[in-house]
A and B are shown apart, each in its own frame.
Chain A
Amino acid sequence: MNKRHWIIILSISIFIFACKKSEIIQEKIETFLGFQKPANFPEPVYNFTANPVTKSVFELGRTLFYEARLSRNNTVSCGSCHIQSSAFTQHGHDVSHGIDDRLGTRNSPPIMNLAWNKAFMWGGGVYDLDLQPIVPITTHEEMDENLDNVLNKLRALPKYTALFKSAFGSEDITTSRFMKALSQFMVMCVSSNSKYDKVMRKEDNASFTQTELDGYNIFKEKCSSCHKEPLFTDGSFRNNGLSLSPVKDQGLYLATLLASDRYKFKVPSLRNLNYTAPFMHDGRFLTIGAVLEHYSGQVQNLENLDPILNQNGKLGINLTETDKTKLLAFLATLNDESFINNRLLAEQ
């Protein structure tokens, strides 16, 4: 055996090893685990008994999520404004950019951890995930289509009658089946593998750096009452002191007509901020730095300002420059790269 032989043997064994490894990966992809509650998350809100997640319904939902026929002229899909690489937001757009280049009035929110959401949309109005897709489908600036047309378009395609049959047992394409499939895809968009999660679950020996830990402590003291762990939102609607936008969006008030809801918007999660700029309901802040500037010095005392932001006659949150640096370090631990790269959630 000379050196050459050794090299050949080594190459072959690497090749075999590589094959084996890819088989394992293959298997992993093919074993569909359904919806799994992360160990550090609370019980979900979504009613899974009425819509238990199965592989075939989830896959149908995924196909529908990326289906442009949901829009009037077949150009815009859910995935157009909820892009996986941007943690299912429309990165770089302050307000959503929909059909015929029309612009909405609000920032496209992430499709993330929706199984724990009690209310949907920045301004509420929708309280059941199974009814949410009707909003973007019918909104003039988004997909500008109607549900009946969407279902008829799908019914005309053998691809969909087959997919509905394999998912639900018959070829019938109904509102309920359509919505449930979309919901299954959306509830599977779980982001729970950030560094923060690993530290909390004591996985992979993960630990915070000193700066991150300091930031975490500042977060717990100054941010966590609204951005509650582990989802980093308490799901409530609040007025966080933004100055009025040019369109004077009244937020939750539009859905409730209660004066006490004027200018309140849903508290967004702080997960995946690295991928989801710009920020706030109208995307007015391009960076997290600008968001921290807002809270530390630009909070406006408008109607219904959250009392937490107006204590002892002082508006906003007291943050030093060091605090901000530390907070930014902590917030970076909430980015979940596996979420934006999860093949299961990508257009196939």
Chain B
Amino acid sequence: MKNLSIRITLLAFCSILLLASCSKEDSPAPEFAETNLAPFSVEFDNIVGDRTLSFNNTTTPYVNAKGESFSISMLQYFISNIKVATADGKEYAVKQDSSYFLIQSSDKSTRFAKVRVPEGDYTRLTFTLGVDSLRSTMGIDKRTGVLDPAANGGHDSGGMYWGWNSGYIFFRFEGNSNVISDDVNGDPTGKKQFKYHIGGFGGYSAPTINNIKTITVDLTKAGIAKVRKDRQSNVHLFMDAMKVFNGTNSFKIAEHPNVMFSDYSVNIAKNLTEMFRHDHTEN
């Protein structure tokens, strides 16, 4: 008897759950209105190939497609200009002033880009990897929060501002690999460090390298984002750092252990566009 009542309760509970979730799934997309804003987030879950990201993991290093073992000590990047679009082509761009995020893998709390977009069902997400050229040339007043040149302290502690060549590092990835030589072509300090500081917004006066990348993610396969006021729709992306080495422009760490503001950075920037993959959406 007792058993039965438990079963009934359980059944009832399940049906309520089912009903509740059904009603959630079925809630029709509200009328698209630019003022009807609701919370929405994009989560950047940093992974390395088939493994999660861990720092300075020298006992079981990661291995890239060229067979080079490496460990990671720093991974951080700017995400900006988030846009969403519905299946019927309605687009919304998050207000500029609240659309700059620095994802720092050393600080889990920074993995979400939290914004507000109109209630609606979104099938496409677009964002910029980096800082757009307009913001890169704006006055000091507009450089607050993660864009403050003083943010994160100095360069060694993770600063993302390039003083000598006014602009931001869009993507910063550092680590160690034994394949790096101890001479000027590698790391003369003997620490066998690699450093990839990818930036370049296209130049102030004359056109120069532009590594700003726009990433478009189709949400239809792994779950569209149903943005409503009473919940937190979260698009969960995997950001695969292995693609830095294994993307279309695959390269050897030993051959390019340090890439900063240089022509070669353009090749790596191309790989960066391949890092993002939609895993699922929590609605």
Interface residues of A (CB under 8 A from B): 47, 50, 118-119, 121, 125-128, 130-131, 134-135, 137-139, 145-151, 174-176, 179-180, 254-258, 261
Interface residues of B (CB under 8 A from A): 137, 139-141, 143-144, 148-155, 157, 159, 161, 163-166, 203-206, 208-209, 261-263
Q: Which residues of A contact B165 (CB under 8 A)?
A: 125-126, 254-255
Q: How far is the CB of A88 from chain B (nearest CB, A)?
A: 20
Q: Which residues of A contact B164 (CB under 8 A)?
A: 121, 125-126, 135, 139, 255
What CA separation (Å) do A146 and B144 show in the bound complex? 17
Q: A127-B205, A128-B166 are in contact. Are A176 and B155 (CB under 8 A)?
A: no
B155–A146 contact, CB under 8 A?
A: yes
Q: How far is the CB of A300 from chain B (nearest CB, A)?
A: 24
Q: How far is the CB of B199 from chain A (nearest CB, A)?
A: 12
Q: Which residues of B contact A151 (CB under 8 A)?
A: 150
Q: How far is the CB of B134 from chain A (nearest CB, A)?
A: 14
Q: Which residue of A lies closest to B263 (CB)?
A: A257
Main secondary structure of the interface of A (DSSP, over half): helix
A176–B203 contact, CB under 8 A?
A: no
For B139, B163, B204, which residue has the most chain A Cβ atoms within 10 angstroms? B163
A128–B154 contact, CB under 8 A?
A: no
Partner of A257, one of B154, B159, B209: B209
A134–B161 contact, CB under 8 A?
A: yes
Q: How far is the CB of B142 from chain A (nearest CB, A)?
A: 9
B148–A175 contact, CB under 8 A?
A: yes
A257–B143 contact, CB under 8 A?
A: no
Q: A176-B141, A180-B140 are in contact. Are A256 and B208 (CB under 8 A)?
A: yes
Q: A255-B165, A256-B206, A256-B208 are in contact. Are A146 and B141 (CB under 8 A)?
A: no
Q: A256-B203, A257-B209 are in contact. Are A127 and B166 (CB under 8 A)?
A: yes
Q: Which residue of A lies closest to B204 (CB)?
A: A127
Partner of B150, one of A121, A135, A146, A256: A146
Name 12 extra pairs, CB < 8 A, besides A126-B166, A257-B263.
A126-B164, A131-B140, A134-B161, A134-B163, A146-B157, A147-B154, A148-B150, A175-B148, A176-B141, A176-B144, A179-B140, A256-B208
What CA separation (Å) do A7 and B151 show in the bound complex? 70
Q: Which residues of A contact B204 (CB under 8 A)?
A: 119, 127
Q: How far is the CB of A288 from chain B (nearest CB, A)?
A: 30
